[in-house]
Structure 1
């Protein structure tokens, strides 16, 4: 048995019939909606009632916003170019050449790139507005809502495409 056969035997390239793919999809979107710009959402809700949680929220949001701002301004074009290259490669190999593994990774990565872009816009708005208190919490809640909407649409499209792929595998010719 050669190395190529061993790898493809160990890693099921039929991703949409693999339970681990669907678990990863759920965990990914659950984590994306819980961590708003890297801040746990429970801290946002606790900040409404607790002054110490409000101070912690402002501190953590400030750190993460400056971190995102630094990354965008120092390596943003490289990250953007590499992301477009990766997504284009996955889309072409997945949907043009029919590689199911590339389709599955694309359906994970493409919507998350939208969430990353949304995070950049939210970080820029927070940085420009120097939001504090209720205005900051409202902005973070809106970011979480948009992330959840992107996630719902993504899960719906991924499940429809996955069902279609699983049905097509079983049909002859």
Structure 2
């Protein structure tokens, strides 16, 4: 009788363990989470009310056709934002509050790190959404154009960057706390 040729028990390949070692599933110790955080805030501060910020700079520098293009883009995006808020604003607000509450409970009551990470991304972005809606209403009420429109967009970008800096700072502090508390193996 021939002995069966099988690798020892310790050498068998456990796919799940290999996958979770290769891709760290803890959010705050994962490099991809921090890359995503940087990309999200970079994109958010570049797109002011759905208009790329370089259009504002170009309109300031060159005026004329660049200003006309900026005003058209802003008018289209302002009308779009205000239409969405009028048609389904309450539903969006309800779902957003439900989602943020769910993430808060899962993250801080049930201590699910992934929910904490998503909440630290989603909550400041919801503040940016409210800021965008407020700015859109102001632009429409003032019928802002020219230099006044540029100033309004620059102020919106400044507030977006301030919210972003605070959000990144809080996320970094919480992430460092989680990594120091849980250690390298996650508990």
Question: Which TM-score bucket, shorter chain as reference?
Answer: over 0.9
**Distance of aligned partners of 1:142 and 1:109 in 2 relative to their CA distance in 1, 3 Å threshold:** same
Question: Counterparts of 1:12-91 in structure 2 under 5 Å?
Answer: 12-50=24-62, 51-91=64-104
Q: Give ranges in structure 1 of 5+ residues lacking alignment.
A: none
| Aligned equivalent of 1:109 | 122
Which entry has the higher C-alpha Rg, 1 or 2?
2
- Verify: 1:149 aligned to 2:162, yes or no: yes
> How many positions carry a matched residue from both structures?
171
**Aligned-residue RMSD, C-alpha:** 2.2
1-structure distance, mates of 2:140, 2:37: 31
**Superposition TM-score, scaled by structure 1 size:** 0.92
Provide, for residues 126-153 of structure 1, a one-character-per-residue CA deviation record: whole Å limited to 9, x for no partner: 0111000000000000000000000000
TM-aligned CA deviation for residue 48 of structure 1: 1.3
In the other structure, the counterpart of 2:153 is 140
Instruction: Calculate the TM-score normalised by the size of structure 2.
Output: 0.86
Greater share of residues in helix? 1
Conservation of the 8 A alpha-carbon contact between 1:13 and 1:100? no
* Deviation of the 1:49 alpha carbon: 2.5
How many angstroms does 1:13 deviate by? Answer: 3.4
Superposed displacement of residue 170, structure 1: 1.8
